[in-house]
Structures are given as C-alpha cells and as structure tokens.
C-alpha cells in the first residue's frame, strides 16, 4: 500500500511583519488602510489568541488573517524586576524556539536639566529592544557577543517586543541597544521603525535611537568612519550622538579624553560616557572608577567644550544593563537604590 507524505504548511507570520501583510492584503484586493486597525487591536489586547475580534474588517480580511497571520508570533515567557523597580527585563521566546531579551527602563524627566534648568514632565518609560538573536560582532565587553550569531529578527518580532512591554508600562522612547547589531539586520530594523512611527504607535522619530556600529577596524578604519560622520552631519545638520564605553586602565585616562576630544572637535556632538558593566568570567575588563569618569568628562567639557553626559546604568542586579543581555534571568538580585533616574534618551541634541 503506497503512502503519501504531505509537507506541513509554512508557519503563520506576525501581523506586525509590515511588508508581508501589506503584500498579502494587496494581493487579495484589501485596502492597506485596515492594517493599523489590526495593529491597534493587538496592542490593546496583547493576550488575544486570534484576530476575529478586530472590528470593521472586510470578510476577506478575516479569512486571510486566520490562514496566514498570528497576533504575535513571540511569547513573553518571564520577567525580572530590579530591586529598585526602575527596570524590568523581559525574556521573549520566538517562533523558531530561540529567545531574546528586552528591557523596560522607567525614568523621571524632572531629574534631568536642560540649559541649567529642571526639565518638565514626570515618570515615563524607555524600551531597549533586540534586533538579533546573538551577535556577529563578538565585542569582548558585551555579554551578547559570547552567544555568537544565531538569527535575525523579523520586523514583526522587533515590534512585538513593544507589544509585550506595553503590558508593564506605557513606552515613550525606543532604543535599539539590546541584543544584536542593528545595521547587520538593516531591512527589518528600518521596517520596524516605520511601523513604530506610524499609527497606532505614533512614536516620534526623535524618540527612537539606533545604537551602532561596533566596527571591525580593518573593514571600517577610524578615519573612514569619521569621514562618514562628517558627511552625514554636513548633509543632515544633525548633532551626532557618540557612545563611549569606559574600560578601567584601557581607555579611561586623561590622555584618552584628549584623544577623543581632538577627534571630535570639528563636530557638533554629544558624548555619552558608559561605564563598563560586569559580564562575569567572559571578560577580563573592569569598571572605571567614578573619579576616572569625572576627570574624563571634565576634559571633554572644559578643554574641548563638548557636551558630555554619563550613562546612569539601570538593572545591573537583573543583568539588564548595557552590555549584559545574554538570555538569562537571575534567581538572586542584589540590593539597589529606590530612586528614578533622568534619561539619556531624553536629551535634546
């Protein structure tokens, strides 16, 4: 008796995979104007199991959604809260079985200053999202680099991190500073940003930060990188935001501050100093002392008149601080203060 085998249908896609759902709607003769309504429904009902409850869609749209899409393809599997309750780290399982982390950080804008005056506003949240599972760059000061590269996230999987995070806090800013190098997943990152800046999310482009690149020096030598930044600034007239990770005894001395100052003195730039966050036995680097950081900042400000801030790290006790994301949730948490911080992502640059 002959037996026949049939291949299983392809997995349903995230409804937030914008290019895919637009193409499917176009092929079915359904107006793309309905797509933001679907996204709004999922955002307001993050635990919905299907899309039958989306109001006012054409009948053909419901059939298409049932066959080819899921409200979300990822699942929030765990969350860890920092001791001071300013940070929540989310563990998110993807449809392919891999996992990524995202971090919700709560700030009080009134604690920051602009032109020497306290900022208006109050408590609000920034979401740090991942763009890849693991990372190809292999930076020795970053825990994600120890994972190696596993896969790129789709644009929908990037957006879904905000959907999951919205269960914990209303998100005002998004920073691509989680797992992965964003520009190594360029198409999906750009598509996700287009979704986040449109309805129903409506995030301001000025409140989305893409943190990049950790260049391989042979492929992107410093001179070439600086020329690219100069061309960008000449064209856009925008201030350039420079992140500088400080490693004790490696690049945190006064001579290094002068080197950085001379490198940037022809630019309109803001420098954000990031003290190294411990990542366990996978790195031999150590955190710069507060004194070294202050001296470094003083040189940049005083000698080169470069606006310089220091990153206020959050979530170290849950391994949720910058450079610590490596798909793990701690069982124990160290003690922490109970104060909200001002947000570097709220700088007007």
Placement of tokens 């960008």 in the chain: 232
Q: Which of 157, 313, 322, 345 is catalytic?
A: 322
Q: How far apart are CA 36 and CA 32, in angstroms?
A: 8
Q: What is the DSSP letter of 185?
A: G
Single out the catalytic residue among 101, 181, 191, 313: 101
Spatial distance between the Cα atoms of 287 and 1, rounded to a whole number of angstroms:
70
Distances (CA, A) of 29 to 94, 110, 314: 30, 49, 48
Q: Can you say whether residue 148 is alpha, beta or left, with left for phi > 0 and alpha for psi between -120 and 50 degrees?
A: left
Do strands 87-93 and 75-81 pair parallel, antiparallel, or not at all (unpaired)?
Answer: antiparallel
Whether the bond between 35 and the residue before it is cis, its omega within 30 degrees of 0, is: no
Of 73, 132, 82, 124, the residue nearest 103 (C-alpha): 82
SS3 56: coil
Q: Is 332 a catalytic residue?
A: no
Q: Is 135 a known active-site residue? A: no
Catalytic residue numbers, as ranges: 101, 322
């Amino acid at each position: 008796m002959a037996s026949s085998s049939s291949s299983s249908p392809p997995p349903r896609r995230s409804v937030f995979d914008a290019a895919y759902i637009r193409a499917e709607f176009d092929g079915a003769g359904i107006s793309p104007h309905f797509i933001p309504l679907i996204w709004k429904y999922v955002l307001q009902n993050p635990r919905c199991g299907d899309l039958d409850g989306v109001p006012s869609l054409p009948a053909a749209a419901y059939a298409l959604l049932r066959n080819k899409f899921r409200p979300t393809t990822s699942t929030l599997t765990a969350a860890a809260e920092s001791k001071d309750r300013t940070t929540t780290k989310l563990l998110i399982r993807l449809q392919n079985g891999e996992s990524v982390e995202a971090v919700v950080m709560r700030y009080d804008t009134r604690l920051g200053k602009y032109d020497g005056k306290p900022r208006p506003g109050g408590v609000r949240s920034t979401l740090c999202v991942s763009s890849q599972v693991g990372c190809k760059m292999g930076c020795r000061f970053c825990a994600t680099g120890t994972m190696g590269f596993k896969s790129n996230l789709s644009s929908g999987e990037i957006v879904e991190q905000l959907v999951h995070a919205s269960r914990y806090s209303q998100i005002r800013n998004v920073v691509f500073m989680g797992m992965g190098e964003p520009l190594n997943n360029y198409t999906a990152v750009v598509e996700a940003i287009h979704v986040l800046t449109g309805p129903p999310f409506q995030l301001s482009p000025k409140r989305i930060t893409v943190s990049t690149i950790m260049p391989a020096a042979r492929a992107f030598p410093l001179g070439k990188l600086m020329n690219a930044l100069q061309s960008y600034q000449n064209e856009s007239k925008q201030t350039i935001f420079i992140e500088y990770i400080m490693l004790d005894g490696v690049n945190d001395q006064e001579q290094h501050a002068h080197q950085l100052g001379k490198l940037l003195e022809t630019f309109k730039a803001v420098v954000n100093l990031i003290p190294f966050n411990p990542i366990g036995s996978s790195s031999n680097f150590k955190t710069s002392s507060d004194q070294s950081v202050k001296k470094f900042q003083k040189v940049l400000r005083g000698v080169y008149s470069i606006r310089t801030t220091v990153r206020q790290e959050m979530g170290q006790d849950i391994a949720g601080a910058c450079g610590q994301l490596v798909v793990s949730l701690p069982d124990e948490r160290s003690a922490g203060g109970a104060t909200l911080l001002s947000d570097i992502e709220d700088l007007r640059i």
